Amino acid sequence: MNSFFRRLRYRRLASTFTILATLSAGILIGSVVAHGVHGQESKETPRVDTSDATPLKVPAPRDLSTDFTRIAKEVGPAVVNISTVTLPKEQQRRRTMSPFGQRGPDNGGGGGEEGPNNFQDFFNHFFGGGPGMGPDESGHERQSLGSGMIVDPRGYIITNDHVINKADKIWVRLSTDPTSANFMQGRPATVVGFDKATDIAVLKIKADPGHPFPTVKLGNSEGAQVGDWVVAIGSPFTLSQTVTAGIVSAKNRTIQPGTAGQYQHFIQTDAAINPGNSGGPLLNMAGEVVGMNTAIYTESGTYAGIGFAMPSNTIVQVYNDLIGPEHKVTRGSIGITFQQNLPAAVAHVYGFKNGVLVSSVQEGFPAEKAGLKAGDIITSVDGRPVKDGDELVNIISAKKPGSTIQLGYVRSGQNHTATVTVADRTKMLEAINKNAGNENAPGQGENGNEQAKLGLTVGDLPQGAPAGLHGVLIQSVKPGSFADEIGLDEGLVITAINRHPVNDINDFRTIVAGLKSGQDVAFEVVDPRDPTAGHGYRGGTLP
């Protein structure tokens, strides 16, 4: 990709120079024609006496420092350039353990705990691929470039997991490192740990005795306000120590639907961020890190005015877990699912303003053991009111597995409490996937077959559904899937498939299991949010 941009830049420069040369020639010819000056006559033009001209002098430099200048000087030395190499698969099979940042299933933070790297797919989509995604088609080594920030003078660095994902060799360069031939690649780095759920990784480089590394200063991302000035520093397109400025455009942006985005609540900014900026800091006007530049929204592969940074408060929590003895992030879970962004009408019908409407309860796990059921509305944890699903996830995921919580919930208009023992989310997901007999991504649970065939997840109707309504509630629809293409939407109730009635989730799974590729499939649906709409129909040929 870097060579592509260089060729593009050269073509643009060549075009510019051609235009300038043409304009200059035109101006010269026009001047000659206008004044009637011939080439022979121009040689006889008398010299101008310049004895009265005063030579120009370069003035003393003036200090026009701004907050941006100060931040760049203070923070720049602690922002590093990260380069990686991914070997072809043939070399990976032949090679022995690499001393430089080798990644494997047993190294660093539970590499498989989140299943497929959904964020990597998201990143590829928004950046249109790019360097660092593995060996190229010719089988040669594939190189990647990104950024990072030193947070500990002993050489601990925070960056994005996608910057070093699948890398076999990792090097780090400081802005103060020499450019000698034996130091061109930089300092070898090792992976301390990584967390795919938040796309955060920690590296370690060896510190020189008696020469601690410069570090960034972390700030509190909760203090960042929409409209605040922010500064991004990184290495876009390999151009290290590039400084851009903008404002905080929005906060708490979730840009991946479902469980994949449960732990990704970004700061949105219009500070220019491009490939290579990933892992670099987003700073407030005090020079404090309030975020780590992670992704951009673009249709061209380059900056389009919208960038996303992981908040510093999330970074601190993940970093502290990754440098711990186990080098991994452990999150709590109670074994429920819920629908995000419930329409206001649903909350009105079910009689609550704040809380979480439970869509399903995993059999054999904490919530089910404590007596919770689909249709319950969770309103508090340990007496603390719960506003929505994001808040519930944040509270429970921070609990240590084995600890207990008091869960407040509403069922059929009555308030209840339950004592729930928190489980290890990673182990719970592994058990769910094992029981389901598949290796689907976390959050799919027993919906794996439906997701694979149709691209949707469903659940039984919650308690309090309209009398006489039967079927299954669509909880999520994967963009670009068969379900998405034929118009099945989150919140609809499927009452029949190919004229076979669907009374519950068991009926649904039985019917879906019999569907074949190339078969015409017709869904009968009802929108419980609009009782006057009657039955609707969606259909298509299954890919």
Instruction: Classify residue 131: in a domain, yes or no.
Output: yes
CATH of the domain at 384: 2.30.42.10
**Total structural domains in the chain?**
4
User: Do residues 322 and 109 make contact, with C-beta atoms less than 8 angstroms apart?
Assistant: yes
Q: Hey, what are 503's tokens?
A: 């009374």
Residue 53 within any structural domain of the chain? no
pLDDT at 476: 86
CA distances for 200 relative to 143, 219, 274, 333, angstroms? 20, 17, 18, 21
Do 298 and 356 lie in one domain? The reply is: no
Residue 22 lies in a domain: no
| Amino acid at the residue 93 | R
Residues 449 and 469 in one domain: yes
Distance of CA 96 to the CA centre of its chain: 32
508 falls within a domain:
yes
For the full predicted model, state whether its pTM sits above 0.95: no
Residue 19 lies inside a defined structural domain of this protein: no
- Based on the domain organization, do 111 and 200 belong to the same domain? yes
Q: Find how far residue 209's CA is from the centre of its chain.
A: 36
Nearest to 464 by CA among 418, 410, 396, 404: 410
Looking at 171, 204, 237, the residue that finishes a domain is 204
Q: Residue 282: is it exposed, middle or buried by C-beta count within 10 angstroms (0-12/13-18/19+)?
A: buried
Do 91 and 188 reside in the same domain of the chain?
yes
Q: What DSSP line would sit under 234-293, residue for residue?
A: E-GGG-TTEEEEEEEEEEEE--S-GGGGTT--EEEE-S---TT-TT-EEE-TTSEEEEEE
Q: Which residues pair with 474 in a beta bridge?
A: 458
Residues 420 and 446 in one domain: no
Instruction: Say yes or no: 169 and 280 in one domain.
Output: no
Give me the pLDDT at residue 150, please: 97
DSSP secondary structure code for residue 359 in this structure: E
As to burial, measured by CB atoms within 10 angstroms (0-12 exposed, 13-18 middle, 19+ buried), residue 13 is exposed
Q: What amino acid positions are annotated as catalytic residues?
A: 162, 199, 278
3-state secondary structure at position 369: helix
Reading the block at residue 391, the tokens are: 């808040």
Instruction: Name the E strands within 168-223.
Output: 169-173, 187-188, 190-195, 200-204, 217-218
pLDDT at 390: 84
- Domain boundary (261, 291, 322) is at 322
For residue 28, being part of any structural domain is answered with: no
User: Which residue, of 424, 453, 476, is where some domain finishes?
Assistant: 424
Q: Residue 110: which CATH number?
A: 2.40.10.10
**pLDDT at residue 487 in the model:** 87
Question: 3-class SS at 447?
Answer: helix
**Contact assessment for residue 289 and residue 282, using Cβ atoms and an 8 Å cutoff:** yes
Q: Which pLDDT score is estimated for 405?
A: 95
Q: Which backbone phi and psi does 44 adopt, to 5 degrees? A: -95, 5
Structure tokens belonging to residue 402: 């084995």
> Does 265 share its domain with 315?
yes
Q: Report mean pLDDT in 10-residue bins for the chain, 543 residues.
A: 45 38 36 44 73 91 85 94 78 37 32 36 37 45 82 96 90 85 77 93 92 95 95 88 94 77 88 90 96 84 84 95 92 85 71 83 89 90 90 90 93 91 86 54 48 86 78 87 88 90 90 89 83 74 88
In a domain, 155, yes or no: yes
Do 301 and 398 belong to one domain? no
User: CA 265, CA 200: separation in Å to the nearest integer?
Assistant: 13
Which two structure tokens, joined as six digits, stand for 370? 């404590």
Element at 67 (helix H, strand E): helix 67-75
- pLDDT at residue 522, as a whole number: 87
398 and 446 in a single domain? The answer is no
Same domain, 453 and 528: yes
Q: Same domain, yes or no, for 198 and 113?
A: yes
pLDDT of the residue at 388: 86
Name the residue range of residue 282's domain: 217-322
